Chain A
Amino acid sequence: MSVEASHMVIPISADRTRRGGLRVPNIPRSILLSALTVAMLLATWTVVTEMGWANELFLPKPQAVWAAFVKTMTKGYQGATLLQHLGASLYRILTAFALACVVGIPLGVVMGVSRNARALLNPLIEFYRPLPPLGLYTLLVMWLGIGESSKLSLLFLAGLPGIVISTIQAVTSVDPVYVRAAQSLGATRRDLLFHVYLPAAGPLILAGMRISLGFTYTVLVAAEIVAASAGIGWMIWDAAKFLLSDVVIMGLIVLGLTGIVLDLAMRAIAKLLMPWA
């Protein structure tokens, strides 16, 4: 079950890491191609709206979205500026994600190293992993109320399985030769953990963390639907109620861009921590 799912994930991320190593000669071209995609998208958007092919209620012009951005940056949307909304959301995402890492990585390591632990905990992880976040959320709201704790819990629960499963996968795929070599040199269990398992599994754990951050992101709007008064997800939800699609699209773009920035930041941190990856 989990093993198959992770098998699908790992090769892709491993691929990415490898490509990272060969990146230098590719830079100009890949950036050019990426820029081309963005330019094409913008051009299509402009043409479609300028020609009046799309109802402006559903797809406003790029300049309307830009105007919504400027207005929200300076005057704010319903009592908070864009940066305040973004701050509220980032606080929720990063807190929940940090908690998910703090809980998920040790849990994954334990489950990866010990078959018994894996057998004990797997049913829990496997059961709630496919539950739709909104279904889970109604229960969380009843248990924890409408404040921050239910929102953080939802984001945490969305992020946790990804980390746990890829950490298990990362630890179990550590070459046993490394372990035996270290043991023959007299390594203790503690040495094994910090000098063999974690360094060897690190890159794959990081890949799992990146995926998990993505999952946390996907439930942000859901988390902020209930009783939030700030946050990008809430702003999108509220604007949709009043059919302010320019604000909705602007919010989605901001959300997407911050996601990219966070992902880049995580890769940069990983490079510092794990130069061997």
Chain B
Amino acid sequence: MIKRLVATLAVTTLALTATARAEEKPTKVTVGYLNLVNAQLVTKHLGLLAKEMPGIDIKYVKIGGGGDMLRAIAGNDLDFGGLGNPPTAIGATRALPIKGILVINMLDYVEAMVVRTDKNITSLKDLKGKTVAAPFGSTTHYLLLQALKDEGVDPASLKILDLAPSDIAAAWLRGDIDAAWFWEPNLDKAVKNGGKILVTSGEMAKRGYPTWDIGVVMNAFAEKYPSYVEKFVKAECEGIDFWLKNPEKTAEIIAEELSLPLPDATRMMNGTGMVPCSKQLTDDYLGTSAKKGKFVDTLLSTADFLVKQERLPKLLPRTEFEAFIQPAYLEKVVGH
């Protein structure tokens, strides 16, 4: 009798919470997406998020780089965003109210260091005395400094400038800079105008410096509308599936979204590593809620690097970065 009463109570409570939860619905969802080539463009183009969240005003905001994304997050202007590993390490260390929920992309040759062909630069050592640009605080700035360190080149022996990707392209066309480490679609403008690739981010990944972008959600949003975080992850996973299954159509979408010729879009696509959602829960990526994956290691080493660069005040313990990675939503979507 009592058992049954408890059971009824439990069921009623569950039903009540379920209804209560169903009623909680955001009126507007703002997604900040990085201006680079990945499946978020597919999700956006196909309106997959709108299908998951009918009746909700979905606003996409294009954001140039990680620094701007951090500011937008700190200013509470977004519900979802995307960040490369250096800005993520910064955000996690500075206790920004965000959690990493999804691998947006792994960076291969979609990010690369381009050098001026006529400057006879064949190795990083040849960069001494040259002017090199990178968006400070981004994945490529991080890789540039790591690569210089590994080659034993003193960063002070070259002039490193902080420029946004679009400004790098403009400065390159004017001949103001000799080399730059940045990303598509602007990277291609430099390559086509007297540039050649010296080293790609994919090569750096093989040397032990993987770079990636991770989808993040604001904590306040996740606490209030957890089911909508799942919907977001589901929509992005559908975009990733579409990317993996329909490469030709995806290239067309990217060409259209970024106003690029189709061959360029295809090349940029191939230079981006897309990880199927089920695979994201393996140890190489996010891992599971019980055992977080290698993303934690990357965050930790990136943060350590930034502390040495005096861009971060202190190195947080590993547990903080583990807490930042939240595969729980993805686990529900994938059905673990």
Chain A interface residues toward B at CB < 8 A: 57-58, 77-79, 141-142, 145-147, 226-229, 234, 238, 240-244
Contacts and interface: CB of A to CB of B under 8 A. Distances in A.
Contacts of B202: none
Interface in B274-322: 306, 310-313
A78 B312 CA distance: 12
A146 B90 CA distance: 28
A189 to B, nearest CB: 45
Given A141-B171, A145-B176, A243-B96, 18 more contacts: A57-B95, A57-B96, A58-B74, A79-B156, A141-B167, A142-B170, A145-B171, A146-B163, A146-B171, A146-B176, A227-B162, A227-B163, A227-B171, A238-B136, A241-B137, A242-B137, A242-B312, A243-B94
Given A238-B162, A242-B312, A227 B74 contact: no
B133 interface: yes
B161 interface: yes
A145 B162 contact: no
A242 B313 CA distance: 10
A148 to B, nearest CB: 12
Nearest to A143: B174
B70 interface: yes
* 6 pairs of A and B residues whose beta carbons are closest in the complex: A241-B67, A227-B161, A243-B94, A241-B137, A242-B311, A145-B176
A85 B304 CA distance: 26
B160 interface: yes
Nearest to B174: A145
Nearest to B86: A242
Contacts of A58: 74
Contacts of B94: 57, 243
B138 to A, nearest CB: 9
A142 B313 CA distance: 36
Contacts of B176: 145-147, 227
Nearest to A145: B176
B174 A142 contact: yes
Contact of A243 (B74, B133, B161): B74
Point out which of A146, A226, A240 has the most chain B C-beta atoms below 10 A from its C-beta. A146
A229 B74 CA distance: 24
Contacts of A227: 133, 161-163, 167, 171, 176
Nearest to A234: B162
Nearest to A71: B310
A142 B176 CA distance: 11
Contacts of A229: 159-162
A141 to B, nearest CB: 6
A160 to B, nearest CB: 25
Contacts of B162: 227-229, 234, 238
B25 interface: no
A259 B284 CA distance: 53
12 contacts: A142-B174, A145-B174, A227-B161, A227-B162, A227-B163, A227-B167, A229-B159, A238-B136, A240-B67, A240-B71, A242-B306, A244-B313
B90 A243 contact: yes
Point out which of B70, B96, B171 has the most chain A C-beta atoms below 10 A from its C-beta. B171
A238 B136 CA distance: 8
B74 A57 contact: yes
Nearest to B137: A241
A169 to B, nearest CB: 38
A146 B169 CA distance: 12
Contacts of B137: 241-242
Contacts of B161: 146, 227, 229
Contacts of A241: 67, 70-71, 136-137
B167 A226 contact: yes
Nearest to B309: A78
A78 B156 CA distance: 11
Point out which of A226, A240, A243 has the most chain B C-beta atoms below 10 A from its C-beta. A243
Point out which of B162, B170, B171 has the most chain A C-beta atoms below 10 A from its C-beta. B162
B38 to A, nearest CB: 22
Contacts of B156: 79
Contacts of B310: 77-78
A228 B133 CA distance: 11
A241 B174 CA distance: 26
